[in-house]
Amino acid sequence: MRKKIVAGNWKMNTSFKEAITLIEEIKKSTIPNGIELIVNPPFVYCQPLVQLLKSSTIKLGAQNCSEHQSGAFTGEVAAAMLQSIGVTYVIIGHSERRSFFNEPDETIAKKINQAIHSELCPIFCCGEQLSEREANNHFEIVKTQLENGLFHLSETDFKKVIIAYEPVWAIGTGITATSDQAQEMHQFIRTLVSKHYTHEIADNCSILYGGSCNASNAKELFSKPDVDGGLIGGASLKAADFIAIAHSF
């Protein structure tokens, strides 16, 4: 049975004091049984937050990792470094990395390999631009991202991956894909996984929705059979909202 997951992507937000306060508030909250709660703070807060979360069931992830294992890559952070301090998840292929930092599918595939080699669980992001949806190319775009970024993996390694569908036109805009639009794409993704691997693997793959998902719309989104949770942006920066989303299943 696939996991129900709510993962918070803090992006480049919070001071260290604010990060500590946010974690403490989340820790005080009641987390529903059977829900995997993940926080993904900026790199510089990962190690101290790992220590703060040791006594809780909350997991810690990073927002990115290098495609390289080690070497002369100033400013980069290797997956193995993250794993060595207790990080267990890492977001890879987020649309902001794809667009602002020009990360192609080839680079994203290498990052996936590094994450799995270092025993991190990748949260692989995919999704289309507004122009691509308006041109009715959204299925082909997502299919290509999956084929280039994930489908080189063996069955054993693919089982370690979480997929997050994030329509780019809904990220940080306040516009959310309708629950039917989300379900349609999630079902499409699961069908692709089934065709490339097996029905059993597809059925056990958690697929999250991201893109202006908040406490008001999460319940409707999560009610869809192929939506297994959310990758949450702005709403993850408020403990009450983040926990309310976790109670939306």
Q: Active-site positions?
A: 94, 166
Can you tell me the distance from the alpha carbon of 204 to that of 129, in angstroms, rounded to the nearest whole number? Answer: 28
Give the count of alpha carbons within 13 A of 86, CB side only: 14
The answer to whether residues 82 and 46 touch, using CB atoms and an 8 Å cutoff, is yes
SS3 label, residue 163: strand
Secondary element (H or E) of residue 37: strand 35-40
Cβ-count burial 60-87 (b if 16+ within 10 Å, e if not): bbbbbbbbeeeeeeeeebbbbbbbeeeb
Using alpha carbons, list the distances in angstroms from residue 9 to 42, 60, 123, 144: 9, 11, 11, 24
Structure tokens given for 12 = 């480049």
Nearest to 243 by CA among 27, 69, 15: 27
Main-chain dihedrals φ then ψ at residue 76, nearest 5 degrees: -90, 160
Fill in the DSSP letter of residue 225. Answer: T
Secondary element (H or E) of residue 36: strand 35-40
